[in-house]
Structure 1
Amino acid sequence: MIDFSLQIELFSRHILANDWGRAHLFRNHRHLIVDNAEEGTAAAHSLVRQWLPHLESALIVMDEDAGLRLFLGADPAGAAELAALCADAIRLDTCYFMSPQLGEMTRRVDRAVRGRRPASATTLPTAFACAGEDLGLPAFQMPQGGFRYYPQMIRWVIDQVERLVVHGGVEAGSIAIIAPFVSDALRFSLQTGLDARHIPSATHRPSRALQDEPAARCLLTLAALAHPDWHIRPTQPDVAQALMLAVDPLDPIRAAVLAQSAFPATRPAIELGRFGDLRPDRQQRITYAIGEAYERLRDWLYAYRAGGELLPLDQFFARLFGEVLSQPGFGFHADLDAARVANQLVDSARNFRWALEDTSLAESSPDMPPAVRLGRDYLGLIGSGALGALYYPGWQTPDDAVFIAPAYTFLMRNRAVDVQFWLDIGSTGWWERLYQPLTHPYVLSPQWPAGQPWTELDEFTSRQEAMRRLLLSLMRRTRRQVYLGISDYGENGLEQRGALLNLINRLLLQNEGLGSTGVSPRPSLDAAEEGFIGI
């Protein structure tokens, strides 16, 4: 198994360095389109430079204010250099869907963040025209007074989404809720609140490990229980969580009681006890209806164990999902997100088996066929924290659902929406970059002078520029309006005064009609009823 960076290294140093390989590539492809060139790496730009003389035609598309994946090796300055190699340069400076108010706000944000810094080759000041419909709405809208606590802000966001969908004529699929980071708690709070208002929602976090998904952990735990010969003993909390997700409607308290009774930690064997063998008081506490569903799940697992013919792990997951978990009375029956995770897990296990099945034939034994042994290895590998394979359908979300995602994930989809909600604008996450001491994206860039040290001023300047690119890119993917969510205390309970909040305060001070006093966010118990501040 070769990761992406090593693939690029092998291609650049060995395949392109080989005369036959280079000639084969250049001879068989005579036309080239490069989209989002600013998000490409230096190696990709080097390939394009070598390729251009051999092409009959080429189109290179670049966004001047992007280069958002710098932390992954993007080289926007290198993309700008490719323009000099093109015969014609066509500059598009009109947005046909963004409102004039948002267009003006992009210029104000650009000036406020850039300050007196000179523009680089990839951050030239632009006269950006907006031809979208003028609805007379302010570009930014925020609750007057702000909120003290983080849950109050979340409740306000859910209230505003409901108002827009029910009374404002905005489709749910045209709303995006964006935060610098989307934690499990934030995701759960937003989706639970929207579900209670009957508003569909979808979320995507590509950096989230597959084994961190509750539905995946449920399937992995049940797979360990179904294969005791693998000697992978799940913990009692994992069994409780698996039973809670698998049996509907089993709550966490009764799931813990059932796991303690049916899978005690003192039992050496990997065995699930029968519901009928539990103490009567525990049966009554768990309820007989849930006990019946539990028995159906247990009977299926034990029938599989007794069948004698073990399946490859991906086929086991598919059978367990199709024959039990997706049926009425079980937890995956009406859970589309759980179905998506189950499908991703099946694909990941299948790809793992296909990649290594041939190499494992030499190590096979009559007691454990290669495909089954690979299932055991996969279970141990994913339990150790290895990420699953790339899952392309995970990037495809329903068109009629509110989209919840980290800011950069939303931008990588390159999709415009009517309304955006920016959560927790006081968080430093809007400004701070990922800490990468071993793979520093600036110092290791080809644009960085060799031997020049990285200083505090460089760090500050790079963070300001990254926030500028992020904010402009988000606003240029909005048709109508941006709602700003703010709370004095963040998700971790600490007071926040990040760079984005300071920027908003400066824009408020500049806003016509507020004079020199401005509006400083202050605590409010229920700002949702106090109106809005528009910028």
Structure 2
Amino acid sequence: MGELLLKWRNWCLNRGLLTYGIIYELYWRYLLLAPQYQKHLRQRHQIILADDTDDYPAIAKDLFELLLDKGVRGVFTYNPDSQVRLGVNADPGYLKQIAKRCRIIDITGENFSSSESKIASQSYYSKNDYIDLAVELVSENTYGISLPDTIQSIQTISRAELLRTTAQSIIEAIKSEGIKAEEIAIIAPGLDEIGRYTLIEILSAQGIAVTPVNEQRPLISSPTVRALLTLMALVYPGIGKLVDRDSIAEMLTILSQTYVEGKLIPQIDPVRAGLLADYCYHVDPEFPDLLPIESFPRWDRLGNQGATAYQKIIDWVTQTKEQQLKQCYVTPAIFLSKAIAFFLGKSEKMTYPHHTLSALRELIETAQHYWEVDRRLRQVQPSLQTQAVTVANFITLLRRGTITANPRRNNQFTPSESAVSLATIFQYRSLRTAHRRQYWLDAGSPLWEQGGAATLFGAPLFLQSWSGYGWMPEDQYNLDRERLQRIVRDLLGRVSEKVILCHSDLGVNGTEQMGALFPLVQASRQIEN
């Protein structure tokens, strides 16, 4: 493994490519030690303000100490119950050593606002008391303890019933109890497609918007992105093997959408699109093409609307191919921009969901970065590969689900819409926000005590505090236990009224749910379904 990492590092450096890890190494090993750089660093900075240092990488401590040694003043915050990015490049234990050089001000438990103190005023437990009680329940085999009414539970047998009951509870809270949608958060240890789709559909049907937090779904999961990739395979020669009839049918349906009475309606429905794909798609590994509509013996069945939409797609593909021949080569980023403008921006009235727009923005950004890397590689190795192979590799990369739809935000300073937040544990804690009511989905799942995607492989071995010995199962057990305690403390500290534990006896795969939070479910008061 170490040899492969070194080969990858050297390969990137020889071609002028930088990853975050390589940037960290170059900065720590060379730039930070350069006397001239240190001189300018001191001249430009007189004070350090570092928030949430428990989520900083170890290199940040070396930078902070360098500035402090040169007389720069500093203010640092550290939350021992947070450490969200522990296991994802952060080294909170190493950063904590800065406290030796600071005057420490402990603000734990200081003056909550009136809304934040509601949860403590509803029972004889103070906020810190019931947080400690919850942590004790998930850490020790403690029984016979009842939680205050500020922590309640929804309990069902099947997960499908749990999703419906949870959604209904949120609907009642908004419509009957006067809670605003933006005051509710649904937090899950791992959000599967079924759970995500079910919650969004049920709540949206009642006019309640749902906003996934920092959604990281693969680009290829978007039908619009798949349609554009199929269109790309029709225009660029030599990649016809990546196209099949099903993808052609999907492309015809997506690209023929138009705005009718406030809704996006395809002019070529899936049935007619399937017929066109069967009769009018010319299969060719080098030059795939869409044949004239007359190639379908019963083309009159398509109707004028479908025939017109199909002809527009054929005309655009033909014109774009001719431009390719005249201009020699059009980069896919420009191609995708033109396709989006022609097919998806037909009218100012056409509006697309937020997730579709995010996927399109990320697709354009990915294409730009991909061909920028390709340009850099061709400078080092001009005969790298043909353009057809490059386009084919780009499409294959996206189809593997490697790239996710999480582009840079362009509305950072606009007010957020009134919507229920839907997030995984890591996404919610990274957001550093608070809500009036939280729903902990799949409370009995064993995923609550596991790092999952929030922990990189072998991360504990790269901490400054690593002993140098082999990583044993008991080490992993202690790490998971400490992480679970921090998760419980952090989430409970971010709620101002009530936490509802959503538990089903059986999980998605039919196994019994008896995870680390199950004692919390047993000790809480069950809400009648």
Judge same fold: TM > 0.5, yes or no.
yes
Go from structure 1 to structure 2 and tell me whether the alpha carbon gap of 1:196 and 1:277 turns closer, same or farther (over 3 Å shift).
farther
1:6 paired to 2:15: no
For residue 426 of structure 2, what is the aligned residue in structure 1?
A: 408
Cα distance in 1 between the residues matched to 2:280 and 2:436:
51
For residue 528 of structure 2, what is the aligned residue in structure 1?
A: 531
Cα distance in 1 between the residues matched to 2:405 and 2:36:
32
One-letter identity of the residue aligned with 1:175: I
Cα distance in 2 between the residues matched to 1:329 and 1:227:
29
For residue 456 of structure 1, what is the aligned residue in structure 2?
A: 473
For residue 226 of structure 1, what is the aligned residue in structure 2?
A: 235
One-letter identity of the residue aligned with 1:501: F
2:331 to 294, 312, 316: 312
Go from structure 1 to structure 2 and tell me whether the alpha carbon gap of 1:427 and 1:457 turns closer, same or farther (over 3 Å shift).
same
1:339 paired to 2:357: yes
Answer with 422-431 or 86-95: which moved more.
86-95
1:299 to 315, 319, 333: 315
For residue 184 of structure 1, what is the aligned residue in structure 2?
A: 193
1:161 is displaced (CA, Å) by: 2.1
For residue 255 of structure 2, what is the aligned residue in structure 1?
A: 246
One-letter identity of the residue aligned with 1:187: R
1:321 to 306, 318, 340: 340
1:354 is displaced (CA, Å) by: 4.5
Q: Structure 1, residues 337-395: CA drift from partner, whole Å, max 9, x if none?
A: 21221112112222344455466479889xx9x9x997666445444554369722189
One-letter identity of the residue aligned with 2:66: Q
1:33 paired to 2:49: yes
SS at match of 1:492: coil
SS at match of 1:295: helix
1:478 paired to 2:495: yes
Q: TM-score, normalised by structure 2?
A: 0.80
Q: Structure 1, residues 463-504: CA drift from partner, whole Å, max 9, x if none?
A: 121111112212222222222222222223333211112333
Cα distance in 2 between the residues matched to 1:494 and 1:264:
48
For residue 208 of structure 1, what is the aligned residue in structure 2?
A: 217
SS at match of 2:242: coil
Cα distance in 2 between the residues matched to 1:188 and 1:292:
34
1:489 to 486, 506, 514: 506
Go from structure 1 to structure 2 and tell me whether the alpha carbon gap of 1:19 and 1:401 turns closer, same or farther (over 3 Å shift).
same
For residue 142 of structure 1, what is the aligned residue in structure 2?
A: 153
2:482 to 454, 465, 481: 465
2:157–2:504 CA contact under 8 A, matched in 1: yes
1:108 paired to 2:133: yes
Cα distance in 1 between the residues matched to 2:411 and 2:457:
26
Q: TM-score, normalised by structure 1?
A: 0.79
The alignment's C-alpha RMSD in Å is: 3.6
One-letter identity of the residue aligned with 2:38: R
Cα distance in 2 between the residues matched to 1:273 and 1:174:
54
Go from structure 1 to structure 2 and tell me whether the alpha carbon gap of 1:299 and 1:159 turns closer, same or farther (over 3 Å shift).
farther
1:48 is displaced (CA, Å) by: 1.6
2:119–2:496 CA contact under 8 A, matched in 1: no
Go from structure 1 to structure 2 and tell me whether the alpha carbon gap of 1:363 and 1:441 turns closer, same or farther (over 3 Å shift).
closer
For residue 120 of structure 1, what is the aligned residue in structure 2?
A: none
1:86 is displaced (CA, Å) by: 1.0
SS at match of 1:443: helix
Cα distance in 2 between the residues matched to 1:141 and 1:261:
59
For residue 12 of structure 2, what is the aligned residue in structure 1?
A: none
Cα distance in 2 between the residues matched to 1:189 and 1:358:
44
One-letter identity of the residue aligned with 1:263: Y
Cα distance in 2 between the residues matched to 1:140 and 1:38:
28
SS at match of 1:228: coil
- In the TM superposition, 1:23-102 aligns within 5 A as 23-94=39-110, 95-96=112-113, 97-101=115-119
Answer with 387-396 or 415-424: which moved more.
387-396
1:423–1:486 CA contact under 8 A, matched in 2: yes
Answer with 32-41 or 85-94: which moved more.
85-94
1:163 paired to 2:172: yes
For residue 447 of structure 1, what is the aligned residue in structure 2?
A: 465
One-letter identity of the residue aligned with 2:86: L
1:211–1:385 CA contact under 8 A, matched in 2: yes
One-letter identity of the residue aligned with 1:411: R
For residue 133 of structure 1, what is the aligned residue in structure 2?
A: none
2:283–2:289 CA contact under 8 A, matched in 1: no
Go from structure 1 to structure 2 and tell me whether the alpha carbon gap of 1:278 and 1:272 turns closer, same or farther (over 3 Å shift).
same
For residue 392 of structure 1, what is the aligned residue in structure 2?
A: 408
SS at match of 2:288: coil
1:312–1:375 CA contact under 8 A, matched in 2: no
One-letter identity of the residue aligned with 1:37: T
Go from structure 1 to structure 2 and tell me whether the alpha carbon gap of 1:84 and 1:501 turns closer, same or farther (over 3 Å shift).
same
One-letter identity of the residue aligned with 1:463: D
1:222 is displaced (CA, Å) by: 1.9
SS at match of 2:452: coil
Go from structure 1 to structure 2 and tell me whether the alpha carbon gap of 1:294 and 1:154 turns closer, same or farther (over 3 Å shift).
farther
1:225–1:233 CA contact under 8 A, matched in 2: no
Structure 1's unaligned 5+ residue stretches are: 117-136, 512-518, 520-529
For residue 22 of structure 1, what is the aligned residue in structure 2?
A: 38
For residue 9 of structure 2, what is the aligned residue in structure 1?
A: none
